[in-house]
Structures are given as C-alpha cells and as structure tokens.
C-alpha cells in the first residue's frame, strides 16, 4: 500500500512539474547580426564566418528539446562588402538565414540584377524599391505571428492584417521612429546601436536589443511565450568561436 501511494505521489508530482515548465510554453530563439560586411570566411584564429553562424543555428535548434518554437537567424545592415558581385550572392544558396535586411547599396545592386530576387525570398528592404522587395515579413510559429520589419506602420489597416504577437524592428538608419506608431498592447523589440538602447525604455511594451559591436559575436534573444503572451526574455551575446572564452571549435560544413 505504501509503495502504491508513493508511486501515485511521484506520478502526480512529475505531471505537475512538467506542466509548469513546458506544456504551454513556446520558445523562440533569435540569432542576429547587424553588419556582417562580407566576412564570410574564418579568420586565422577560427573566428567569424558563415559556417560558424550556420553551425550555431543548428546547435540552438538541438537545444530546443520540446520542439515547440523556432530558431531564427537574421541579418541587417551591410551584409556584403562594398565589392558587390554576382558571385557574392551565390554563397547564400548554402546558408540558412530566415531574413536578410539589405542595405541601400545592396538594394541598388539588385535593382540592376532583378533575376536574383526570386532566388532569395528572405531578402527584405529598408525602403521602397523597383523590384518589389518587402519591407516586412511575418513568421508563423505554433499559434504566434511574429512580424519582422524596418518600421511600425502597417501597409494595410490593422483589422485587415494578421494579429501580431511580437514586432521585431530593425529601424532604417535614416528614419526617425514615431512613438505614436507603437501599438500599446503588442510587444516590440528594437535592434539598435548601444548608444540608442535607452531611447524607449519608459514605454511599457517596448524593449531594445543591442547590436553586437564586434564582428566575432552574435546577438541572441531567447523569448518564452505562454498562451500567446510574452512572459520571459533573455538577451546575451555569443562568441563566434573565440578562443578567449575557451569555446569548443566549430568546423565549417563540407
């Protein structure tokens, strides 16, 4: 009898414990870089490189044991170096970015090479353009709609859009943000330079994520949703295989 009661107690305890940490939670991990500037290869010390970024994303996916959620890899700013060529774009066919917000120079290059646009549906633009690149993208994860954009004004009236549970905003360097555009009930995260991160700190539903100030780091946001509400967020920087922090070496894909 005692054994039976003990087993029942442990079963109920385990069920309650599991319920409290996982059954209703959706985990979103956002890996982001703000200016890659054509640094696609390893340096001499094994830092940086697209292969490192791809492996980092794969490792983050494996960490999500519940399988409820998604890992995003996003780039904004100058992705390529100033020497833009068709060959530079070919390397993207082997990467796993979810969105790349291109700079004005990169958009101008695509406008003269429009055939490239259809090959990379995850390209976004800071501005209106001649090749119909979107300035926003909506990711659907479980029962959540996550909008990535470079501004806050919807192209269509709010009631005609999908209900948004989170705005991820990489504002254009040339634009000024209007606080009146911020919806009071939808969380928004601005990705900003370090000196700009306190500009909206007094707004209840507004958060800021600091862009990495070094090319050998990537920003990471870990967001937890429960019943379509953001209940927790963690912000950090991850070294791109720097030996300074004794990270395990990450090798490129063959």
Domains of the chain (ranges; CATH) run 26-245 (3.60.21.10)
Containing H/E element for 5?
Answer: helix 2-21
- pLDDT tens for 178-215 read 667 777 788 899 898 777 766 666 677 888 898 887 77
Retrieve residue 222's tokens: 């870990």
For the entire predicted model, the pTM comes to 0.78
Q: Which long-range contacts (CB under 8 A, 24 or more apart) does 224-231 make?
A: 224/25, 224/26, 224/27, 224/28, 225/25, 225/26, 225/27, 225/28, 225/144, 225/165, 226/24, 226/25, 226/26, 227/24, 228/143, 228/144, 228/165, 230/165, 230/166, 230/187
Tell me the pLDDT of the chain averaged across its residues.
75
- pLDDT tens for 214-251 read 777 889 999 999 999 999 999 999 887 644 444 443 44
The side-by-side arrangement of strands in the sheet containing 144-149 is 136-141, 144-149, 166-169, 188-192, 206-210
Using the 8-state DSSP alphabet, how is residue 243 labeled? Answer: G
Q: What is the mean pLDDT of residues 125-143?
A: 88
Does the pLDDT value for residue 63 go beyond 70? yes
Retrieve residue 241's tokens: 């295989």
* CA pair distance 240, 33, nearest whole angstrom: 11
Residue of higher predicted confidence among 28 and 42: 28
Q: What is the mean pLDDT of residues 113-120?
A: 84
């Amino acid at each position: 009898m005692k054994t039976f009661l003990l087993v029942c107690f442990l079963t109920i305890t385990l069920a309650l414990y599991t319920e409290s940490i996982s059954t209703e939670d959706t985990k979103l991990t956002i890996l982001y870089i703000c200016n890659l500037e054509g640094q696609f290869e390893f340096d001499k010390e094994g830092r940086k490189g697209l292969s490192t970024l791809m492996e980092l994303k794969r490792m983050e996916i494996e960490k999500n044991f519940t399988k409820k959620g998604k890992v995003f890899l996003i780039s904004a700013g100058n992705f390529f170096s100033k020497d833009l060529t068709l060959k530079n774009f070919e390397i993207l066919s082997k990467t796993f970015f979810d969105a790349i917000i291109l700079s004005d120079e990169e958009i101008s290059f695509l406008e003269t090479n429009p055939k490239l646009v259809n090959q990379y549906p995850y390209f976004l633009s800071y501005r209106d353009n001649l090749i119909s690149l979107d300035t926003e993208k909506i990711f659907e994860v479980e029962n959540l709609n996550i909008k990535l954009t470079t501004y806050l004004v919807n192209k269509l009236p709010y009631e005609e859009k999908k209900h948004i549970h989170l705005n991820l905003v990489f504002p254009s360097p040339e634009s000024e943000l209007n606080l009146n555009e911020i919806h009071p009930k939808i969380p928004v995260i601005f990705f900003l330079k370090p000196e700009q991160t306190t500009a909206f700190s007094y707004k209840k539903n507004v958060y800021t994520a600091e862009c990495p100030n070094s090319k050998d780091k990537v920003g990471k946001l870990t967001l937890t949703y429960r019943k379509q509400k953001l209940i927790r967020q963690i912000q950090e920087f991850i070294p791109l295989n720097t030996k300074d922090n004794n990270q395990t070496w990450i090798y490129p894909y063959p």
